[in-house]
Amino acid sequence: MNLRRNLEALYRAALAGVDPEPCTAAALTDPVVARPIASARRVGVFAAGKAAAGMARAVLAELGPVPLLAVLPRGQRPGRRLPGGSIRFASHPEPDASSTRAAREAIRFFRGFGPGDVVVCLISGGASSLVALPRPGLTLAAKRAAVRRLAASGTPIEEVNRLRTSLSAVKGGRLGRETRAALVTLMISDVAGDDPRVVGSGPTIRGRRGDVVRVVASNRDGLEAAGSAALSMGLVPGIVPRPIAGDARAAGIRLARRALELPPGGVLLAGGETTVPLRGRAARGGRCLELALAAAGPLRGAADVMLLAAGSDGVDGSSGAAGAFVGGDTLRRAADRGLESGGDLRHADARRLFHGLGDLFIPGPTGTNVADWVFAVRAPAERNISRG
């Protein structure tokens, strides 16, 4: 059994389970969603976030040509069927002047619709940075500094987003309040609990009667799709019920120990978002690489177990990868190559180590974002095992 190939297949299946285009298209068949759109005098579409392009394609395929404003991460390819003049690119993970321009244009877009109209709002992870306008009296530099300090301390993303909202002129429903049109908000969630007020800092969640809000895909949907794929491989999946959170290295140790308890042919499926306190470190990496590195210790010597930690968006911090594979021979191979010594990984450079081993996982940007996944598999008994 090729453990690496199986883990990659689980990741691809999870991605398919949260593909923005079919998930959004399915939501449009819900009568509660479809009814206000069908009866509107005019319909506009606003999309922001890492999944904005796919979500917008689904809506345009259903509605035909309607006014559209889509804000995507700089460098992302919007793909087919999106009119070029309707697309704006802005900064992620930190806002810059392009983000404030996008926010001001979004305000103008919303103000262009009124009573009897509907704006279909497509929000996904990354929207907080892509559409950013400080509240009056606050500069963008001061807002960025405050958010950066909190994020660098390892604070959970929910608390970071609450600060972003308190400092913003568009988050927390404020963008939605710029119009008298009804709003239909469809979201792809990258936060634990899938609270619409937290996804992208909830720019269109204004609590007004007649508005419709739906979360169309989440981390759990990806885990369930991966579970179905595991069954088709003849493996036995088990989903960790609670989202992973807190310190990435502590989570890596916990999940590695759970992986060692898997029966032959068992699969561990977990998802969520951890944190990595920076503490002045300059090494390239991200929370998935830190989690995988921490898992290497408990997995040492377990030749029949392998783990993959990877971001659903295909990007893990500054690493240039989505995450990494780790198994029972990771530390031995690292020592053989002079990448690790003494087993003390607390100050190791995760990106350098996994790059040196050829164990980085680099699928490229995926066009969606539902936080991170951790998959582990134990080979069935009496089968040949290959790392891949």
Q: Give tens-digit pLDDT for 196-224.
A: 999 999 999 999 999 999 999 999 999 99
One domain, residues 9 and 23: no
Residue 283 confidence (pLDDT) above 70:
no
Residue 2 confidence (pLDDT) above 80:
yes
One domain, residues 201 and 276: no
Domain that includes residue 308, residue range: 3-15+220-378
pTM value > 0.75: yes
pLDDT digits (tens, 9 = 90+) for 350-362: 999 999 999 999 9
pLDDT of residue 329: 96
Mode of pairing for the β-strands spanning 182-188 and 118-124: parallel
The last residue of one of the domains, among 195, 217, 239, is 217
Name the least confident of 37-41, 64-68, 139-143, 244-248. 139-143
Contact 36, 185 (CB under 8 A): no
pLDDT of residue 344: 55
Residue 175 confidence (pLDDT) above 90:
yes
Residue 279 confidence (pLDDT) above 60:
no
pLDDT digits (tens, 9 = 90+) for 11-39: 999 999 999 999 999 999 999 999 999 99
Position 317 confidence tier, pLDDT thresholds 50, 70, 90: confident
Residue 3 confidence (pLDDT) above 90:
yes
φ, ψ dihedrals at 326, nearest 5° = -145, 140
DSSP sequence for 327-383 = ETTHHHHHHHTTS--TT--TT--HHHHHHHHT-EE-----S----EEEEEEEPPTT-
Question: What totals of helices (H) and strands (E) does the chain contain, helices first?
Answer: 13, 12
How large is the average pLDDT for residues 160-165? 81
One domain, residues 352 and 327: yes
Domain tally, the chain: 2
Position 282 confidence tier, pLDDT thresholds 50, 70, 90: very low
Residue 146 token pair? 């405050």
The last residue of one of the domains, among 217, 243, 270, is 217
145: three-class secondary structure by DSSP: helix
One domain, residues 225 and 131: no
pLDDT of residue 383: 58
pLDDT of residue 260: 98
Q: Is residue 385 part of a domain?
A: no
CA-to-CA separations, 5 to 9, 288, 364, 385, in angstroms, rounded: 6, 19, 17, 11
Residue 157 confidence (pLDDT) above 80:
no
One domain, residues 244 and 162: no
pLDDT of residue 231: 98
Euclidean distance between CA atoms 126 and 303, whole angstroms: 38
One domain, residues 234 and 212: no
How large is the average pLDDT for residues 96-109? 97
Q: Is residue 317 part of a domain?
A: yes
DSSP sequence for 57-80 = HHHHHHH-S--EEEEEETT----T
The last residue of one of the domains, among 159, 186, 217, is 217
